[in-house]
Structure 1
Amino acid sequence: MTITLDSRAATRTKIGIRDVSRVFDSPDGGPPFVAMDGVTLDVREGEFLTLVGPSGCGKSTLLEMIAGLTSPSSGEIVIDGTPVTGPGLDRGIVFQQYALFPWRTALSNIEFGLQAKAVPRRERAELARHYLDLVGLSGFERRYPHELSGGMRQRVAIARSLAFDPDVLLMDEPFAALDAQTRESLQEELLTIWEKTGKTVVFITHGIDEALYLGQRVAVMSSRPGRILTTVETPFGSREGDLRADPTFGEYRHHLWTLLRPETAGPGSGLLRVVTHDG
């Protein structure tokens, strides 16, 4: 079998991560804690890139730096050639925890980001309903988060991030807390949304199956301090049918596991999910 390693013809870079490191001071006065070291990665415009690695390798920290929620200790992150210096409405973020306002209805939660852009009230409501429909929740406009299932709450969170039309969608293990059936259903819906909107998506996961199923490319991170081991192009033009049963899918999964297995044995490297069906 031949595995393709990042050989697709070059397209415009949307996000440029240039020799980024992140170091944290030790709370007890000990040596500094190096979370990631020398990460360099380009994310192409309009691509769905998944980032997989062991727990604790710095995946979420890297996403937070792209979002502008924290800054690199060294190196630089640029979007469309402009350095990231803080949060911006060009980036939407979906976290593992739903982070919905419990006192707002589903519709009102989605409208929140639109208020920040000073979108008029009637247009806000129309856009919010459009994105509720896009994530399959028409008819749930007046429901509060506690009246929705976990999968439905995550749909609302995705709709809220899409509603203010960001160029980039950043997703930090958004399906990790869901049961296997709901997770696979939302993976399919997310790909449909991506195909419809053409957003640039960076999706963090520590599940190899999820990374392969969703990503046009899979970026593989080492254990702490996190570095990019390689990027792998996925060969799956269509996700129709039971892709996970395809022999090629199994071959790529085995290849990624071969890369990552030594990393899971390192100190503090945590666990890595090889298959999604059993979580």
Structure 2
Amino acid sequence: MTAKIVFENVGKVFRARGTTVTALQEINLDVKDGEFLVIVGPSGCGKSTLLDLLGGLTEPSSGRILVDGKPVTGPGLDRGVVFQQYALLPWRTAQGNVEFGLEAKHVPRRERAAKAREYLDLVGLSGFHDRYPHELSGGMKQRVAIARSLAFDPDVLLMDEPFAALDAQTRDGLQDELLRIQELTGKTVVFITHGIEEAVYLGRRVAVMTSRPGRIKQVVDVPIFSQSEDIRSDPQFAHYRHEIWTLLRDEVDKARHEELEATRV
């Protein structure tokens, strides 16, 4: 399977108020075409910064990022982004929000409407096309946000803790929905989470990051689990959850220690 995305010695330095903060350092990582890669790491390790760089929302201080062999120089319709906050337009219906990205591609109105309905159906919102965001639950809003990103048919879906604000039951349901959609569409997905269980459940590979400056500590291959009644209770699932937590534990402790030191200065 060929590499869809390549990070080559990527670093990111922020300068503010006379201080310099190294957020990311020497990130080297490949993401295969059609892969579901999950990135985990302690708070403040640069996970979201890494996704912003891939999305073209900011530029690396060093190194480069390639998508299909071409350097990322800014945002593009080949990459769709889903954030933790839904960022829906409150004056537009669910369908209107999904159509928004299609308008940027100058898709004709009738085709736009049909495509918006198609993707709302895909994410399980058939019959809710005419509802406004204030009429939808949190989980339904996130479904609209996913449909909006999928509708303009990006090759890569970038997801920054999209289920973090949802209750456990809704989150579990959307995880299953996302896996179904990814299998159906074959999209390359890069997914950021704080949740180790979520990482093991969703990812075919899980990249574990160090505390700041963020680097790739290790990439763990996760098997496809048998569709038992409860995958999360499978002993093999517990094994990978423990392996990733072991890798993260030292980094979380380092991050906490650095926070404590910073408050003493």
Query: Does TM, scored on the shorter chain, surpass 0.5?
Result: yes
Relative to the length of structure 2, the TM-score reads: 0.95
Is 1:140–2:137 an aligned residue pair? no
Partner of 2:41: 53
Which residue does 2:263 correspond to in 1? none
RMSD: 1.4
Normalized per residue, the structure richer in helix is 2
Q: Report the CA distance shift for 1:139/1:240 in structure 2 as closer, same or farther (over 3 A).
A: farther
Q: State the alpha-carbon separation in 1 of the partners of residues 203 and 3 from structure 2.
A: 17
Q: Is residue 10 of structure 2 the alignment partner of residue 26 of structure 1?
A: no
- Which residue of structure 2 aligns with residue 116 of structure 1? 104
Alignment partners' CA distance in 1, 2:137 and 2:228: 26
CA distance in 1, matches of 2:218, 2:109: 46
The 1-side partners of 2:43 and 2:95 are apart by: 34
Percentage identity across aligned positions? Answer: 68
Q: Which runs of 5+ in 2 are unaligned?
A: 259-265
Counting only pairs closer than 5 Å after superposition, residues 84-103 of structure 1 correspond to structure 2 as 84-103=72-91
Paired position in structure 2 for 1:76: 64
Question: 1:236: Cα distance to partner?
Answer: 1.9
Residues 196-221 of structure 1, C-alpha deviations (whole Å, 9 max, x = no match): 00000000001100000000100110
Aligned residue identity for 1:188: D
Residue type matched to 1:63 in 2?
L
Structure 1, residues 60-94: CA drift from partner, whole Å, max 9, x if none?
00000000000000000000000000000000000
Residue 190 of structure 1 deviates from its aligned partner by 0.3
**Cα offset for 1:267?**
3.4
Conserved? CA contact 1:57–1:269, under 8 Å: no
Gaps (5+ residues) in structure 1? 1-10, 271-279
Kindly indicate whether the alpha-carbon contact (under 8 Å) linking 2:43 and 2:255 is maintained by their aligned counterparts in 1. Answer: no
TM-score, normalised by the number of residues in structure 1: 0.91
- C-alpha distance in 1 between matches for 2:177 and 2:210: 29
1:15 aligns with 2:5: yes
Provide runs of 4+ in structure 1 moved above 4 Å.
Answer: 237-240
> Using a 3 Å threshold, how does the CA distance of structure 1 residues 113 and 73 change in structure 2: closer, same or farther?
same
* Distance change >3 Å, CA 85–CA 213, structure 1 → 2: same
Contact 1:213 1:239 in 2 (8 A): no
1:218 match? 206
Deviations 1:143-189, CA, capped at 9 Å, x for gaps: 00011000000000000000000000000000000000000000000
